[in-house]
Structure 1
Amino acid sequence: MAPVVLGGRYRLEAPLGSGGMAEVWRAVDERLGRKVAVKLLHPRALPPERERFLLEVRALSRLFHPGIVQVLDLGEEEGRPYFVMELVEGGSFDRLGPFEEGLEGERILEAAQKVMEALAHLHTQGILHRDLTPKNILLTREGHPKVMDFGLAYLLQESRHLTRTGYTLGTPTYMAPEQAKGLPLTPKADLYSFGAVLYRTLTGKPPFEGENDQAVLFQHVYEEPKPPEALNPAVPRAVGEAVLALLAKHPEERPSHPALFQGVLEDFRALRLATPRAGASRSGHYPLGPEPRRLALKGRLDLGGEAAWPGEMVYAGGRVYLGVGKSLAEVDLLTGEVRHQSLPEEASSPPVVRGGVYVGSWDGKVRRFRGRALEWTAETRAEVTASPLVLGERVYVASRDGTLYAYEKDRPLFRFHAGGHLSASPTFYRGLLFVGSEDGWLYALDPATGALRYKVRTGPIHAPAAAQGGVLFIPTWRGEVYAFDPLTRETLWNVELEEELWGGLALDEARVYVAAWDGVLRALDRATGEEAWSLEVGKVTAGLSYAAGHLFLATEEGRFLAVDQKGQVVFEATGLGAVQVPPLPLPQEVLVVNVLGQLYRFGVG
């Protein structure tokens, strides 16, 4: 059968979808040699459907915005109108979810910000979409959102038409209350629908579910959705509040400013900096970093105590926190002042800053300080060498007595007893709590009850599992690295290195970075585990840090290196003394602290 060619240039290749009035095809523009999408009216379409089809073309043709799919051409073939659009092949918006603490969460917020800007442009042009769903916000292969499918849009020629009576056409799962009731529509109806899309993306579920459309519409009109963080504890409260604001029942209460998620995104980035390994997914992927080729030593501070493995710096509100000796050091980066919060025993775990500052010590206790005041203490039966995991009002403490202690609002929630010492911080990912033990097992727990979902034999674990892209990357003390799918429970690949692994991994979009005690830094392909490149660096005890396209690491020989994604050293400083704490990338500088507690500040300029 000969291929169908529209307008003498658009060769249809494969159907992408079909609706009540039209079908969409992937096609090739033979004149320009590029792939496109073609929307073609069904041959038996009724006159109202034809009018809606042409309305969509008119609406789209007026819009020129990077967040809106672009119309490239219009034509008619044997009485069937069609129009040609740019091809968007990255899937629907909700594929970005669920929300995780790390790069994935940041991508959702960045995409949400772009959709808000696209909607603002749409509404400025006097157009309502009226049917925003995850499938009507497609992603490019790079993850950029594009609003499309304007089949139910209508034009608002003048501002007074903003109060024109709406129609109940649309998708019930994402429909605004006023649209469900057939009341006049404004651009705020699109904002509600996008809020519902975001809710599903963050949590995996829509704000309301029911046995039929009417049950869902009733809830949109009369009931309040649960906070997103109640379904997914990884969602920060500020993010959940922004989504609930879009889901306000009354249109005038919904925020319409395009920058709604800009402040939330900045808060989320700050939250990652305040958590060891850059968030609960422990990816080591920090949100921002300087151009390393411009780095130079800008200053040095004495923290007044030793800073050894497994310590780690965190940043919050212009201050850096790190356990040194028998104290928690707080460094004001603006003034250079160093303050100390005394502890009964040596600090033994990286601190966490969430509402207060949490730090563990060798006496088996985790303390939360607010300012200079001791606010709360969690007591275990052995040393705490892993940073606490703080998710909203829940705190998880892993102890070398083999027990994971869980608290909610400072009250005991549960205890889980593993088969060996717990030396690594818990990892929260895909709704599960992952705890690695020195007895060679990785335990997957229900974060609310501590119930064991399953366990996987790995090998002794001293560093936390890192997660990204739906995969857990598990480093073991013996030098194996496993890629593990936490939902299918399948091992995707494993790599055996020469020597022990002390510090945490770092991840970017394509690579897993690992440095063993043999002195070699390796970049492994995330999909296959194959070695992309390796580099002799020296013995690495500290975890690796990644930011702004570069890997930052420091060694026992006193080297501080910045390495690009091709394995090229782009910055090096030597003579720092032994380093056992991961470098901390910040927007304009990278901090490195040696075992003696000397903090080096490498800044740009």
Structure 2
Amino acid sequence: MAPVVLAGRYRLEAPLGSGGMAEVWRAVDERLGRKVAVKLLHPRALPPERERFLLEVRALSRLFHPGIVQVLDLGEEEGRPFFVMELVEGGTFDRLGPFEEGPEGDAILRGAEEVMEALAHLHAQGILHRDLTPKNILLTREGHPKVMDFGLAYLLQESRHLTRTGYTLGTPTYMAPEQAKGLPLTPKADLYSFGAVLYRTLTGRPPFEGENDQAILFQHVYEEPKPPEALNPAVPRAVGEAVLALLAKHPEERPSHPGLFRGVLAGFQALRLATPRAGASRSGHYPFAPEPRRLALKGRVDLGGEAAWPGEMVYAGGRVFLGVGRSLVAVDLLTGEVARVALPDEVTAPPVVRKGGVYVGAWDGRVRRFRGQSLEWSAETGAEVTAACLVVGERVYVGSRDGTLYAYEKDRPLFRFRAGGHLSASPTFYRGMVFVGSEDGWLYALDPKDGGVRYKVRTGPVHAPVAGYKGVLYIPTWQGEVYAFDPLSRETLWSVALEGEIWGGLAVGEEHVYVAGWDGVLRALDRLTGEEVWSLEVGKTTAGLAYAQGHVYAATEEGRLLAVDRRGQVVFEASGLGPVQVPPLPLPEEVLVVSLSGRLYRFGVG
């Protein structure tokens, strides 16, 4: 069958979707040799549908904004009008979620800011969208959102009759209360719809669900949605509050300024300095680092004790926290002052900083939360605490040496889960589940509320934390295998068997998964396929890796600190540090590394 070519130029390749009014095709502009999208009116479309179709073209043609899909051409083929748009192939907006700590959470907030700016431009042109849904906000391959599908667009000065004859047009799941009631609409209706889209993106569920459209519309009009953090505890409260503000019942209460999420994002990125490895997704992906080629040793600090595996440094509020011997140590990076809190036994789990409190586990089987020098809370587990606890919202998850995961909520016991082997790796919160890697060779996916097992997957013994990034879990096993696993479809995407045990955490970058182990080799694996991109002899590695600004940082048992670029080229190296078992810590102005003997080295620029 000969391919369909519109206007002698646009060759239709494959259908992308179809509605009651029109169908959308992937096509090739044969004149320019580029891929495009073509929206073609159905041959039996009724006059009102034809009018709405042409209205969409008029609406789009007057909009020029990077957050709005662009019209490239308009034509007609055998009496059927069509228009040509840029092709957006990154999926729907809600594919960015659910919300996770790290770069993925940042991407949702940046996307929300860009959509808010696009809506401000849309409304400034006197246009209402009236049908914002996840499928009407598409993502470019780079992750930037573009608003599209203006089939129900309302031009304030040109189509008032459409609101009188079709006020229920739209999608009930995302419809503003005033739209559900058939009242006159303002730009605030689009803001409500986008709030509902964001709610679904953050939590994985829309704000209201029901057996039919009327049940959903009733809730939009009369009921309040649950806070997003009640469905997904990883959602920061400030983010949830911003979304609930958009979902206000009364239009005048909804904030319309494009920068609504800008301040939230800035504050969240500041928090993220402390959490890329000690955070919920444990990706080892840090947001900032200085140019490594300009690094030089700027100072040393004696911490007064041994800093051993599985210790980690955590930054918050200008200070770095680390377990050293029987003490929780805090180093003020401005003054160099070292403060310590004495514990009755060895610190055996990396600290976690949340809301001004520092959680730390010890060999005596207790996890404690300190604020400054003061003990705020402690909990007894059944055995030694050998992994960093997981703090998600008000919940604290603690793994112990006897294979039990303890969960607390606001300092009260929530549940206990018993795995089949020791828990040496810190739990990971991802895609709404708590993942626990055990030395019995299983990865358990738990319900975060009650500890029920959603499923379990055979992996092999796990000593290092599982990393989550871009919807995939990257699982390192002690025996040297690395798995890429989709936690929702439960499919193994790829697996690689490496030489030597893996003790420290992976680092995940935009393109590569970085792994180093006891065989002395640092490897970059293609994040999508698992194929080895490059390898580099660095020395035996116990410490986890860190990734920031296009470079992976590794520290070895031979006392080397290296910064390696995406191509596998060493761009910075320091040696003679003594054995290192704690992951390097990239910060905006410096990179920190601490030796097994407890000496903190500060490498800065200048």
For the superposition of Structure 1 and Structure 2, which TM-score range results when normalised by the shorter chain?
A: over 0.9
Farther-moved stretch of structure 1 (483-492 vs 26-35): 483-492
Q: Which residue matches 1:388?
A: 389
Corresponding residue SS for 2:468: strand
TM-fit CA distance, 1:149: 0.8
Q: Which residue matches 2:295?
A: 295
Farther-moved stretch of structure 1 (216-225 vs 315-324): 315-324
Q: Which residue matches 1:417?
A: 418
Mind listing any 5+ residue stretches in structure 1 that lack a counterpart? none
Retained in 2: the 8 A contact 1:165–1:182? no
Q: Which residue matches 1:168?
A: 168
Tell me: CA distance 1:186–1:318, structure 2 relative to 1, closer, same or farther (3 Å). farther
Q: Which residue matches 1:220?
A: 220
**2: CA distance, partners of 1:486 / 1:32:** 41
TM-fit CA distance, 1:325: 2.2
**1: CA distance, partners of 2:457 / 2:166:** 54
1:354 aligns with 2:358: no
Corresponding residue SS for 1:433: strand
1:560 aligns with 2:561: yes
Q: Which residue matches 1:455?
A: 456
Q: Which residue matches 1:433?
A: 434
Retained in 2: the 8 A contact 1:166–1:179? no
**2: CA distance, partners of 1:346 / 1:407:** 23
**1: CA distance, partners of 2:499 / 2:82:** 61
Q: Which residue matches 2:56?
A: 56
Q: Which residue matches 2:502?
A: 501
Q: Which residue matches 1:187?
A: 187
Retained in 1: the 8 A contact 2:278–2:388? no
TM-fit CA distance, 1:405: 1.1
TM-fit CA distance, 1:276: 5.9
Within 5 A, what are the aligned runs for 1:60-79?
Answer: 60-79=60-79
- The CA deviation string for residues 344-380 of structure 1, in whole angstroms up to 9 with x for no partner, is 2222211111121101122211110123221100112
TM-fit CA distance, 1:37: 1.2
Within 5 A, what are the aligned runs for 1:131-530?
Answer: 131-157=131-157, 167-275=167-275, 277=277, 279-355=279-355, 356-530=357-531
Corresponding residue SS for 1:277: coil
Q: Which residue matches 1:42?
A: 42
1:532 aligns with 2:533: yes
Tell me: CA distance 1:138–1:490, structure 2 relative to 1, closer, same or farther (3 Å). closer
Q: Which residue matches 2:605?
A: 604
Tell me: CA distance 1:575–1:260, structure 2 relative to 1, closer, same or farther (3 Å). same
Within 5 A, what are the aligned runs for 1:91-102?
Answer: 91-102=91-102
- The CA deviation string for residues 79-134 of structure 1, in whole angstroms up to 9 with x for no partner, is 33222111111221112222222332222222112111111111122211111001
Corresponding residue SS for 2:258: coil
Corresponding residue SS for 1:305: coil
**2: CA distance, partners of 1:166 / 1:343:** 69
Q: Which residue matches 1:10?
A: 10
Corresponding residue SS for 1:376: strand
Aligned length: 603
AA matched with 2:180: A
**2: CA distance, partners of 1:118 / 1:342:** 53
Tell me: CA distance 1:164–1:270, structure 2 relative to 1, closer, same or farther (3 Å). farther
Retained in 2: the 8 A contact 1:288–1:585? yes
TM-fit CA distance, 1:173: 0.7
**1: CA distance, partners of 2:464 / 2:443:** 12
Retained in 2: the 8 A contact 1:166–1:183? no
**2: CA distance, partners of 1:323 / 1:233:** 27
Tell me: CA distance 1:430–1:596, structure 2 relative to 1, closer, same or farther (3 Å). same
Runs (4+) of structure 1 exceeding 6 A deviation are 163-166
**2: CA distance, partners of 1:490 / 1:146:** 30
Q: Which residue matches 2:583?
A: 582
**1: CA distance, partners of 2:398 / 2:276:** 14
**2: CA distance, partners of 1:507 / 1:591:** 19
Tell me: CA distance 1:166–1:314, structure 2 relative to 1, closer, same or farther (3 Å). farther
Tell me: CA distance 1:339–1:147, structure 2 relative to 1, closer, same or farther (3 Å). same
**2: CA distance, partners of 1:140 / 1:276:** 25
AA matched with 1:509: E
- The CA deviation string for residues 528-564 of structure 1, in whole angstroms up to 9 with x for no partner, is 3322211000111110011111111111122111111
**2: CA distance, partners of 1:439 / 1:50:** 63
TM-fit CA distance, 1:157: 4.8
AA matched with 1:404: L
Corresponding residue SS for 1:448: coil
- The CA deviation string for residues 497-550 of structure 1, in whole angstroms up to 9 with x for no partner, is 222211111112332211111110011223333222110001111100111111
Retained in 2: the 8 A contact 1:166–1:185? no
- The CA deviation string for residues 432-461 of structure 1, in whole angstroms up to 9 with x for no partner, is 222122233322222211223333333322
- The CA deviation string for residues 456-503 of structure 1, in whole angstroms up to 9 with x for no partner, is 333322111112233322222222223333334444433322222111
**1: CA distance, partners of 2:292 / 2:35:** 38
Retained in 1: the 8 A contact 2:276–2:283? no
**1: CA distance, partners of 2:494 / 2:6:** 46
AA matched with 2:589: Q
**2: CA distance, partners of 1:597 / 1:254:** 53
Retained in 2: the 8 A contact 1:273–1:286? yes
Retained in 2: the 8 A contact 1:102–1:278? no
Retained in 2: the 8 A contact 1:272–1:278? no
Retained in 2: the 8 A contact 1:278–1:286? no
AA matched with 2:282: R
Retained in 1: the 8 A contact 2:420–2:440? yes
**2: CA distance, partners of 1:500 / 1:96:** 33
Corresponding residue SS for 2:557: coil
**2: CA distance, partners of 1:20 / 1:292:** 56
1:551 aligns with 2:552: yes
- The CA deviation string for residues 383-407 of structure 1, in whole angstroms up to 9 with x for no partner, is 2121110111111111112211111
Corresponding residue SS for 1:447: coil
Retained in 2: the 8 A contact 1:380–1:401? no
- The CA deviation string for residues 234-274 of structure 1, in whole angstroms up to 9 with x for no partner, is 22222222211111111122121111122222333334332
TM-fit CA distance, 1:166: 8.9
AA matched with 2:496: V
**2: CA distance, partners of 1:41 / 1:381:** 67
- The CA deviation string for residues 127-184 of structure 1, in whole angstroms up to 9 with x for no partner, is 11111001110111222111011111122359x99x9999332111100111111122
Q: Give the root-mean-square deviation of aligned CA atoms.
A: 2.2
Farther-moved stretch of structure 1 (466-475 vs 561-570): 466-475
Tell me: CA distance 1:136–1:493, structure 2 relative to 1, closer, same or farther (3 Å). closer
Q: Which residue matches 2:116?
A: 116
Corresponding residue SS for 1:243: helix
TM-fit CA distance, 1:198: 1.0
Tell me: CA distance 1:456–1:16, structure 2 relative to 1, closer, same or farther (3 Å). closer
**2: CA distance, partners of 1:260 / 1:194:** 13
Retained in 2: the 8 A contact 1:545–1:553? yes
- The CA deviation string for residues 318-341 of structure 1, in whole angstroms up to 9 with x for no partner, is 222111222212222233322222
**2: CA distance, partners of 1:487 / 1:7:** 43
Tell me: CA distance 1:166–1:247, structure 2 relative to 1, closer, same or farther (3 Å). farther
Tell me: CA distance 1:439–1:11, structure 2 relative to 1, closer, same or farther (3 Å). closer
- Scaled by the length of structure 1, the TM-score of the pair is 0.95
